[in-house]
Amino acid sequence: PSLGILIVRHLKRLERVILGYLEVSDGPGEEARLAMLQTLQCTIEHAWPRMPCRLPVLLKALLRLLWDVHSERGPTPEPVRAALLQGATQCLILLDRCCQGRVKV
């Protein structure tokens, strides 16, 4: 977040890290996934001009995360589950705004 628009320099590498963490559950607290969703939100907010070209990859990862969280019935407490769903939804909303409604389509 403190890098602001300079985050664009590291966007490709950052995207790989974020997507890697979102793919794998890290236990009942899901601290890593929640932190990555916050990181993704900040990245979208600061690097929004570059998001349309990254939309397919990010959209696929977020939808997969939503499906995984919704369908898994493991040891994750309901408040953590809700926080993951809310974080992913917020990322989708931000993506939709900076991609002129292409997420909804």
Structurally, the chain folds into a number of domains equal to 1
The mean pLDDT values, 10 residues at a time, for the chain of 105 residues are: 67 92 92 96 90 94 95 88 97 94 82
Instruction: Determine the pLDDT at residue 75.
Output: 86
Instruction: Determine the pLDDT at residue 50.
Output: 87
Is 86 within a domain? yes
Is 104 within a domain? no
Residue 94 in contact with residue 39, Cβ under 8 Å? no
Instruction: Determine the pLDDT at residue 97.
Output: 94
Instruction: Determine the pLDDT at residue 77.
Output: 93
Is 105 within a domain? no
Instruction: Determine the pLDDT at residue 94.
Output: 95
Is 30 within a domain? yes
User: Between 31-46 and 51-71, two packed helices, what is the crossing angle to 10 degrees?
Assistant: 160
Q: How far apart are CA 88 and CA 61, in angstroms?
A: 10
Residue 18 in contact with residue 47, Cβ under 8 Å? no
Instruction: Determine the pLDDT at residue 4.
Output: 64
Look-up: residue for tokens 């979208």?
44
Instruction: Determine the pLDDT at residue 9.
Output: 77
Host domain of residue 36: 2-99
Torsion of CA 44, 56, 8, 89, to 10 degrees: 10
Is 7 within a domain? yes
Q: Is 82 exposed, middle or buried (0-12, 13-18, 19+ CB in 10 A)?
A: exposed
